[in-house]
């Protein structure tokens, strides 16, 4: 237990920052970016060979394309005029996203690159100008009669924009008069306030976790070791310290979240939607049935999660598991060390069931600098995949020779391959896929990797480690995200029904959900009621369900591919190639999964249950738990 006097607080924080910075630089394989071999770094010149080329695109958009777009204002009275302005808009958007991608990539490999920061700022300015220039297009098209819209949708001249126009027509009933739309547009900046306030509270006003003993003047700082202590009181105190900053701001954070909910309900109401949930789901063309089906079906199939919690309690030797016991390790320490080249080979081998075409594209990705592999000073932390219509997809990683890095590589390659297939099989308006579909491709790769590793594990301990990793991934990605989704729906319904919402009622809602999911074996402590206040996704308007539905959908698809079922790979490649050319749920059906039905979710909980049973049996065999 480490304590400091108040007078030492700022010195301690400064030392912590310095130690963290030094660790970030010197703990990796390469001290500087220049030391990293070229084959492990992006080649930015494949996007723009020079700043002059970037500037040429920038000037063309600002001085040529945008004025041409604006010239069509009030003139969209024929299929020909609509086609011409949409083509100009496509041209503008492709150049904008290419510039944005270049600036962002430069910043992410070196966040001290001042020229890249300036480029990013200029791109931001261009976005504002572009938004203003094209703002008339959709309202002007939607001002036409349904008959005229149907004529445009079925026009051979506008065949490349058929689905775009259909989606546009879908939302016509929720578009208001021009003057009302103008008022709502002016509320745009104001509507961002809850999220902006939340960011300021959590990023600027939050303090390093500590608790003050006002009698002695001593300060006890957060120490992760406390949460793994053998003493339950120390573990509990560790969590209380961890949540201390959130606890200090809980009423401000709660009111900020309530304001976000009220904002969503307001916009849904004025646009004549039945609920905030319906408004959000309609905006991405996914039926609310998908959301409700996820929550309802999981609620009816929580036995497998309850069994896992019972196994967790048994593994750490307790009858009941408290919130402060969740950080205790279930298993002996185990680590797989996997250098990058081995990780690449492992991913390729695991993804072989996807066929030769897919594997050849993986080779293309590896050999053409899609991936910026290693950490380096001032590089953006974490990982992502990014795609743009007229460039190759790219992947940012911070590879650290462990299983998590290999899983991240497989995951991000799933996104990049999805983008590659989508953009090479669709026109610009139809290539970009919805978030609802995006995580299926990435998760499927992770699942194939996990199956491959589990089946080739050489020892029970290795298999136990891999199974436990998989189970926790499933718990975090499906069950916990579903808890968030249920909580988000509940707090919106509280406002919509007039029941009201407060800091205390949100705590109650969350604890009730948590207890239901984790079962009677779980004992929630008071501090865990603050958990939702630390989730920024609640300011993204019904977003988190996507993680759960994507993981669930990927499970049966990966099974059919792994088992070599006839037509499985072909159907999956059709899914990837579909991009955004149809409604998200319909595209997923082409891969054999209907997320409006309970069957895929029930299959997921059965799979989770089978993994828990396998883990329990192996732990018994290894003497880690009693029979």
Residue 292 contacts residue 547 (beta carbons within 8 Å): no
Three-class HEC string of 302-313: CHHHHHHHHHHH
Residue 184 contacts residue 270 (beta carbons within 8 Å): yes
Backbone region of residue 140 per phi and psi (left: phi > 0; alpha: psi in -120 to 50; beta: other values): alpha
Question: What is d(CA 106, CA 51) in angstroms, rounded to the nearest whole number?
Answer: 12
Roughly how many angstroms between the first and final C-alpha of the chain, as a whole number?
Answer: 36
405: number of Cβ within 10 Å:
19
Core vs surface per residue 235-260: b (16+ CB within 10 A) or e: bbbbbbbbbbbbbebbeebbebbbeb
Query: 4 by DSSP, 3-state: which?
Result: strand
Question: What is d(CA 434, CA 426) in angstroms, rounded to the nearest whole number?
Answer: 14
Q: Confirm whether 412 is a catalytic residue.
A: yes
Question: What is d(CA 322, CA 191) in angstroms, rounded to the nearest whole number?
Answer: 39
Candidates 86, 92, 122; CA nearest to 106 is 122
- Listed in sequence order, the residues at least 6 apart from 323 whose beta carbon sits closer than 8 Å to its beta carbon are 239, 522, 523, 524, 525, 527, 528
**DSSP label at residue 574:** H
Measured in degrees and rounded to the nearest 5, phi and psi for residue 133 equal -70, -40
Q: Which of 412, 439, 446, 486 is catalytic?
A: 412
**DSSP label at residue 300:** T
Query: 542 by DSSP, 3-state: which?
Result: coil
Active site amino acids: 412
């Amino acid at each position: 237990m480490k304590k400091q006097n108040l007078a030492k607080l700022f010195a301690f924080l400064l030392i912590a920052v310095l130690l963290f910075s030094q660790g970030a630089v010197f703990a990796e394989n390469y001290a500087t970016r220049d030391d990293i071999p070229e084959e492990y770094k992006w080649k930015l010149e494949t996007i723009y060979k020079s700043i002059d080329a970037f500037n040429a695109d920038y000037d063309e958009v600002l001085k040529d394309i945008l004025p041409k777009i604006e010239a069509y204002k009030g003139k969209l009275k024929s299929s020909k005029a609509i086609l011409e302005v949409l083509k100009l808009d496509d041209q503008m958007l492709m150049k904008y996203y290419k510039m944005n991608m270049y600036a962002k990539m430069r910043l992410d490999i070196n966040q001290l690159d001042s020229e890249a920061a300036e480029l990013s700022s200029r791109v931001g300015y261009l976005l504002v100008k572009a938004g203003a220039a094209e703002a008339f297009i959709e309202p002007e098209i939607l001002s036409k009669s349904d008959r005229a819209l149907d004529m445009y949708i079925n026009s051979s001249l506008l065949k490349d924009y058929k689905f775009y126009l259909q989606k546009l027509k879908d939302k016509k009933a929720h578009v208001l008069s021009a003057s009302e739309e103008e008022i709502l547009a002016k509320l745009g900046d104001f509507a961002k306030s809850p999220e902006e306030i939340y960011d300021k509270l959590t990023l600027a006003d939050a303090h390093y976790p500590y608790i003050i003993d006002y009698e002695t003047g001593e300060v006890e700082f957060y120490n992760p070791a406390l949460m793994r202590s053998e003493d339950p009181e120390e573990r509990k105190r560790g969590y209380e310290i961890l949540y201390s900053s959130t606890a200090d701001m809980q009423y401000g954070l709660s009111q900020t979240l309530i304001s976000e909910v009220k904002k969503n309900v307001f916009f849904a109401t004025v646009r004549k939607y039945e609920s905030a949930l319906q408004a959000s789901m309609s905006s991405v063309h996914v039926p609310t049935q998908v959301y409700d089906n996820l929550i309802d079906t999981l609620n009816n199939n929580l036995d497998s999660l309850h069994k896992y919690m019972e196994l967790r309690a048994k593994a750490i030797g307790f009858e009941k598991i408290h919130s402060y016991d969740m950080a205790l390790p279930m298993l002996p320490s185990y680590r797989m060390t996997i250098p990058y080249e081995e990780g690449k080979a492992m991913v390729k081998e695991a993804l072989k069931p996807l066929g030769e075409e897919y594997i050849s594209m993986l080779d293309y990705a590896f050999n053409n600098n899609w991936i910026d592999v290693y950490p380096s000073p001032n590089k953006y932390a974490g990982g992502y995949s990014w795609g743009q219509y007229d460039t190759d997809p790219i992947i940012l990683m911070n590879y650290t020779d462990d299983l998590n890095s290999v899983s991240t590589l497989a995951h991000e390659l799933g996104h990049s391959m999805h983008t590659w297939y989508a953009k090479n099989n669709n026109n610009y308006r139809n290539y970009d896929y919805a978030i609802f579909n995006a995580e299926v491709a990435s998760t499927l790769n992770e699942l194939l990797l996990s199956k491959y590793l589990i089946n080739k594990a050489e020892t029970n301990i290795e298999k136990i480690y891999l199974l436990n990793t998989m189970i926790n991934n499933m718990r975090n990605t499906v069950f916990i995200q579903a808890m968030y989704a249920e909580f988000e729906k509940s707090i919106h319904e509280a406002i919509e029904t007039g029941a009201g919402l407060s800091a205390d009622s949100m705590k109650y809602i969350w604890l009730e959900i948590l207890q239901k999911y984790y079962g009677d074996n779980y004992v929630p402590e008071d501090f865990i009621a603050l958990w939702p206040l630390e989730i920024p996704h609640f300011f993204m308007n019904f977003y988190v369900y996507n993680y759960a539905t994507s993981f669930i959908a990927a499970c049966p698809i990966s099974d059919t591919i792994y088992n070599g079922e006839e037509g499985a790979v072909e159907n999956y490649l059709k899914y990837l190639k579909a991009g955004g050319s149809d409604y998200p749920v319909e595209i997923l059906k082409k891969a054999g999964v209907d997320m409006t039905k309970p069957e895929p979710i029930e299959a997921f909980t059965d799979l989770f249950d089978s993994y828990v049973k396998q883990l329990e049996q192996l732990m018994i065999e290894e003497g880690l738990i009693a029979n």
